[in-house]
Amino acid sequence: MLSKQTLYKKQAGEYAATLIEDNMVVGLGTGSTVRFFIEMLAKRINTEGLNIVGVTTSSKTSALAKSLGIKLSSVDEVPYIDITIDGADEVDLNFNGIKGGGAALLFEKIVALNAHKNIWIIDESKYHDVIGQFPLPVEVVPYGSYQLLKRFEEADLNPSFRRTATGSRLTTDVDNYIIDLSLEQIDHPKSLAYFLEQIIGVVEHGLFLNIVDEVIIGGEQLKIITK
């Protein structure tokens, strides 16, 4: 039996699949909620004969989409992306988001910025007044990463390397590291984003600001909020 949270994820994901139209190029995000979207999208492709091209944000998503028979292209092979459906680890009332819990933030941001429309699908536990409860991921190059960790410590950002179950440093699809910043509350996300973007060795951060157009929130009742 699925938990309430899983049911809410399923509700949001499957609803998002109803928004996809024939001949669309669709950005396919990463994460447990997006999995429900992709599975339902594949069902629609098979039953309705939709002509859909997917652009994925991670190797995990690529593997899932291929296994379900969804045609894929890279972001450099398509002229545009009509719509991207992705999850988020946290969203606030001002449409600021934290993403990167699945270590795919770099590709997720690239795909999002090349899409005409971005929709996030979440369960209600991820919608807060202010972001920051979820640790902020920062993707960094391995060379000099310990020096970056020390710099983040000096800035009181409570950093830690993300690690695998075996204790080794987790690597992204392009072999970078993730440093998670445990901040509890981010009152000035734009200022923090600017600070991180100025640091050499930082590849990308998980603050997604001024990107999303619509958020679908699974819960006791499905909610759709539009920017």
Q: Which residue has the tokens 């339902």?
A: 40
54 assigned binding-site residue: no
* Token couple for 13: 């994901």
The sign of the dihedral angle between the CA atoms of 194, 195, 201, 203 is: negative
- Element (DSSP H or E) covering residue 38: helix 32-48
- Element (DSSP H or E) covering residue 11: helix 4-17
103 assigned binding-site residue: no
101 assigned binding-site residue: yes
CA distance 136 to 131: 9
132 assigned binding-site residue: no
4 assigned binding-site residue: no
201 assigned binding-site residue: no
Contact in structure between 209 and 189 (CB atoms under 8 Å): yes
| Spatial CB neighbours of 62, under 8 Å, sequence gap ≥ 6 | 56, 72
156 assigned binding-site residue: no
Catalytic residue positions? 108
29 assigned binding-site residue: no
Kindly write down the DSSP assignment for every residue of 124-151, as one continuous string. Answer: GGGEESSS-SSPEEEEE-STTHHHHHHH
Contact in structure between 145 and 171 (CB atoms under 8 Å): no
218 assigned binding-site residue: no
Residue ranges for the known binding site are 30-33, 86-89, 99-102, 126
Residue ranges for the known binding site for substrate are 30-33, 86-89, 99-102, 126
